[in-house]
Each structure stands twice: as structure tokens, then as C-alpha cells.
Structure 1
């Protein structure tokens, strides 16, 4: 058992890297057991999608107004989802910024395909999984140093995140660690800092193990339903994600409850109770984590 003298999270978990995986093998070894994996050239080495560049988007969609998130100018709300970008700018201007210097400015859950539908013809999701939501892809753009704080996806879907340009650091945690990661009730977020964990404030972190990996051009990382993920842009980067439903119905029910009920209760309680609601949630995360620690110590 680790002690609280630990200064870094245990990120020694392993992840497989495969290429040309068959449907049968993917379903058996990764989808059904809900195990992460990195797949090289999922769409085939010659797919047009791997030829996307910043210059291409600047030329084709440079005048488009886009919503931009920026940690440097945002008031961070650790228990809240970022549902609306705090600023807008021309897409071309944004692309110039992220290529010129490190910046925390980022785009995520950006439906670039709505503005240029022919991009959907540049790739076809291979027949390796069922219930793929190929009609709902999202693009992600960010500058070197931009981060997506650790969270679980609210809809609880599985995610195939493909990197087209640049490199991303991806840190994953199994959902079995949710209580030890201090997940807020009615939320899919936590206040922990992956790079600077506070083991005195969050002692449960001494009992989790994560996976630390990097994806680059042509890599697709499969993140199963409910897995926690923290993402950093090691360089300016662009990528996109396709989602699929979990093969396990309990995961789908969790997603329905989170999207259809819990987030609305959270919004309403936050409006009515304000800081009292957040204080209650913070206390509840600590209670849950302490009980989880006690169970581990009894073992």
C-alpha cells in the first residue's frame, strides 16, 4: 500500500498498441471487457482524413466564427461542465494563434462537419464495433500547452479519439476509481490536478493507478465508457472523435441518467443554493472517498 508521502500519481498502467485489428479481436479483447487500446491507422493508411492540415481548414473555413475556451481567461468551476465557450473569433485567426506559440486556447466538441459536410466522405468508420454514432463526429483543436481537465464523458459513451496533426498526452483512469478520484455528485468532474496531485487533501489518490500515453498522427485511442481522461496538447494539434454505445446496458442507463436527469438537477440546485450546493458536493466526495479507503485498508 502506498503512503501519503507520494508526490506523483501512479501512472504505470499499460495500454496495448495494435494495427490492422480484426472486428473479432477488437470486440473480444477491448470492447466487451471495456479495455483501452491505441489503434494505428484505424481508417486505413491512405484515408483522406489523415491528410487534413491547419492550412486546409484555414483556407476552407477561415471566416467561420467559432467558440473558444481559454483557461487563462476563464473562472474555473471544478464541478461544472463547460457548456458554452466564453469567447468567439474567426477560425482562421484561431488557427494562426495556436500554430505561432503555446496557448491554452482550445476548441472541443466542435462540429466542423456541419459547416463542411463533404469532410464526412474523407473517412468511413471500419466495421469493428456496433452502435457507432458515426453521424455525430466532433473535432478538437488546441495549441501547445492547452489542457482538457480530467473528466468522464456525460453521455457515458465509448470514444474513438483520432489524432490527425500534432501530439497529445492522454491520461486514463478506470471508472472503478471514481470515488477515489473524488468525483462530485451529479457531475462527471473532479478537482484533482493530474500533474500536481494534493495527497494531503485527497488521500484516495494514493490508491489509484492510471495509464499515461501519447498519441500522434494516425493514432486512434479507444476510451471505454466511463473512463476518466485528462488530455494535454504537447504540440498544436487537431483531431476528431467518433462515439459508440457501450455493449453493456448498465453503462447506457448511466449515460441516460447523467444527460437526462442528473445534470439538470445539478443546474437547478446550483441556481437555487449556489455555494451551499457546491460545499455539500465537496463534503460528499470526501465522505465517499474515505469509505472507499477504509474498505481497501480492511482488505
Structure 2
């Protein structure tokens, strides 16, 4: 049995008016295929170019090891010079990814290669973030702490994206006091006998190629898998729905700090309890669904 995933609609290009009406207001994802062909980045940005302009920068690397109690929030698993990292990507599959790498801060000249598109939302201009990965590397299924509207611009290679709206959270084995699902679920090929609730979740899927833009609506869960080595840039706009905005404020100012405190106090027991609780809570909802 497979996940229930429908293909994300694809548009060659979209006007601001069409985007707001068809996708932003109903909060639906879309892939825009040819929106950035006038950006210098469209023809310039590839792994070799990044190696050239940022080769001597030290970059934070992450892999798919489970969260541990003694690691800080978003603490990197390794560090490497960008030139060595690009060589590693080209050599063959690697689990190492870069995420949330601030382009403006690290390599200001890259800012000249793109413009902030007018989708009718106010984009946070200080936060263009780059994400890199090697063949078969992937993120855990997660949603962003600020539940932002995200525009994800992909460069080089192919990337598979699976999305779920917040309404499907109850079937995803969400870890309490956290932004991720159980890390041992392989969303590229899940074991439905072990994770039966997943068959009730309705999601979306798309494959991104060079120059594609994926709109991820507010608070959507996302799982990114690099089919081939490549990288993407995200621009974001704050959550506009009051419920999502208040959840973002809670996550940033309370949930994150509470979780860190509990890790310090209880150590690995806290992580283990959260993992067990994810299953308990999801199975409870499944039982209620069957009875309902």
C-alpha cells in the first residue's frame, strides 16, 4: 500500500492575481515552471558556480541521524569548506545536506543574481536561505517553526517534494513539542504495516527541476528528497492566517525553549517519551476514526 499523494498542479507561469486567487487564498501548493528565466541565477547558478564564489566558506552539514537530547536546536553534525562539499556531492551519494544557509550574510554577491518576486505577499528580504543535498539525501518530514508561506526555487538536478497540510497532522505520527514526525518513517517508501495511520493522510507530490518554483502554503509539512545532487533557495512570507501566526509565535517563544529545557533535565528519556507518545496519540486518533 502506498501513500495517498496527488500531483501538485504545474503552471508555466502565473500573474500575481492568478496566484492569489488560485493558490494563496485557498492555500494550495503549485509548481511554477518558468517563472525565473530572466534571473541571472537561472543561467549561472549550479554547483560549480557555488564552488567558485563560496569555495572557501565553511558550511554546516546535517545528515539523517535521529535527534539526540544533547544536541542543540539545529546544531550541525559536521562542517566542511564549500569546495570540498561540492566535490563530495559530485563523487556519489552522501547523506550530508546544508540547510538554512543565509546567502546574503555569507556571499553578498549572490544577491545580485535574483530579484524578490511580487506574488502579492511581503517577502522577508533578510532571509533567503540555501539548501543543498546529494543523491538520495533527504530531510525528515517537518514543518517550519514560523509556519511561513514558502517559495522554493530549485537549481540543478532533480528533487522530490512530498507535502501535507496541517489538517493531516493527526495521521503523520507527529512528535509532541516538536516540528517533525517520527524520524524512522521513510516517506519515500513507508512501511504501512508499521505506520497504518499514513494510509489515511492525503498529501501532494512534485518533482522539481532546474528553474522550477514550488509554493508551499502556510505551515505545510514537507519532505524533500534529492534524486540527484542539487540545491534550492527559499524565500518566505509570514503566516497570514491568525491561527497559524499564533502557532508560530508559540513555537518560537515557548515550545522551542520548553523542549530544550526538558532535554537538559531528562536527557534521552525525554526524546524516547516523545517518540512513544507520537505513536500513542496517532493510534488513539485511528481508533476514534474507526469507531466514529
Q: TM-score, normalised on structure 2?
A: 0.91
Pick one of 134, 157, 180 that aligns with 1:166.
157
Pick one of 201, 216, 234 that aligns with 1:241.
234
Q: Name the counterpart of 1:258.
A: 251
Whether contact under 8 Å (2:146, 2:239) holds in the other structure is no
Q: CA deviation at 1:199?
A: 3.2
Q: Name the counterpart of 1:93.
A: 84
Tell me if 1:175 matches 2:166: yes
Query: How many residues in Structure 1 have an aligned counterpart in Structure 2?
Result: 288
Q: TM-score, normalised on structure 1?
A: 0.89
Q: CA deviation at 1:201?
A: 3.6
Alignment of 1:50-129 (within 5 A): 50-51=42-43, 52-71=45-64, 75-77=65-67, 83-129=74-120
Q: CA deviation at 1:94?
A: 0.6
Q: CA deviation at 1:136?
A: 0.7
Q: Name the counterpart of 2:147.
A: 156
> In structure 2, the residue corresponding to 1:179 is in which secondary structure?
helix
Greater Cα shift, 89-98 or 17-26 = 17-26
CA 70–82 in structure 1, closer or farther in 2 if over 3 Å, else same: farther
5+ residue gaps, structure 2: none
CA 78–215 in structure 1, closer or farther in 2 if over 3 Å, else same: farther
Q: CA deviation at 1:294?
A: 3.6
> In structure 1, the residue corresponding to 2:170 is in which secondary structure?
coil
Alignment of 1:203-214 (within 5 A): 203-214=196-207
Q: Name the counterpart of 1:139.
A: 130
Query: What is the rounded CA distance, in whole Å, between the counterparts of 1:27 and 1:78 in structure 2?
Result: 41
Greater Cα shift, 189-198 or 60-69 = 189-198
What value does the CA root-mean-square deviation take over the aligned residues? Answer: 2.0
Tell me if 1:48 matches 2:40: yes
Runs (4 or more) in structure 1 with deviation over 6 Å come to 78-81
Report the structure, 1 or 2, having the larger strand content: 1
